[in-house]
Amino acid sequence: MLLQSLKKLLDNIFNIQHETDEPGTIREINDKIPIRGNNTWMLICSAMLASIGLDTGSGAVIIGAMLISPLMSPILGVGLSVGINDREMLVDSLKNLALAAVAGLIVSALYFSVTPLGEPTNELLARTQPTLLDVLVAIFGGVAGIISISRSDRSNAIPGVAIATALMPPLCTAGYGLASGRIDFFLEDSTFSSSTLYSSALPPI
C-alpha cells in the first residue's frame, strides 16, 4: 500500500505525458526549420552581434546574439526527426542547419577581417577549450527544450534553452580563426560546435 502510494506520488510529480501536445510540437518545430526570409536576417544579425561580443569581450552582447539566433529550430528538427523516424524532416533540418552554419561562418569571417580590434579576448579564448561540462550543458538544455516546447501550455523556458544550446558564438569564433589565419581557433571550435550540436539534437523524450 505504501509502495503504491509512493509510486502514485512520483508519477504525479514526474509524469509529463498527459500534458504533451505531440501533433502541435511536430508542426511547430517543422514549420520553423527553414532558414529563409526573416530567419535569414535574424541569422545575420545574430552572427554580427556574436562577433562584436566576442571581439569586445562582452558577455551581455553574446547572450543577446544567442537569444535571437534561429539555429535552435533546425537543431530541434534534427532531434525530432530522429526520434520519430522522419527521414524527410531530418534531411531538411540538416540542410538548413548546414546553410545557417556556413552563413554564420561567412558573416563572422567578414566582420573579423575588417574589425580594428581583432585581438583574442577572454570570450574568444574560452571557446577554444571545450570540456565535458559544455556537452552536459547542451544535453540538459536540449532535454529542457523538448520538454518546454512539447507542452500544450508553452512555458517561458525557451530563452534559456536558446542560450544553453546556442551554436552561434563557437561558429563566430571559428570565423575569427578563418579571418585571422588561426587554424587552431577554427579546428577547436569546429569540434566544440559538433559536440554541442550532437548533444542538443538528442532524440526527444
What is the mean pLDDT of each successive set of 10 residues along the chain, which is 205 residues long? 72 71 82 88 93 92 88 84 88 92 92 88 80 77 76 64 74 88 67 53 51
pTM listed for this prediction: 0.78
Q: Which three cell numbers stand for residue 115?
A: 574589425
Q: What is the pLDDT of residue 201?
A: 54
User: Which one, of 43, 192, 196, lies nearest residue 105 by Cα?
Assistant: 43
Question: Which residue shows C-alpha cell 543577446?
Answer: 64
User: Which one, of 205, 162, 173, 194, lies nearest residue 71 by Cα?
Assistant: 162
User: Which one, of 56, 24, 27, lies nearest residue 172 by Cα?
Assistant: 56
Spatial separation of the C-alpha atoms in residues 177 and 173, rounded to whole Å: 6
Q: What are phi and psi of 151, to 5 degrees?
A: -75, 150
User: Which one, of 24, 72, 9, lies nearest residue 46 by Cα?
Assistant: 72
Q: What is the pLDDT of residue 191?
A: 53
Q: Which three cell numbers stand for residue 132?
A: 565535458
Q: What is the pLDDT of residue 111?
A: 94
* DSSP count for the chain of H helices, then E strands: 11, 0
Q: Which three cell numbers stand for residue 187?
A: 579546428
Q: What is the pLDDT of residue 164?
A: 63
Angle at 141 between CA 47 and CA 39, to 5 degrees: 35
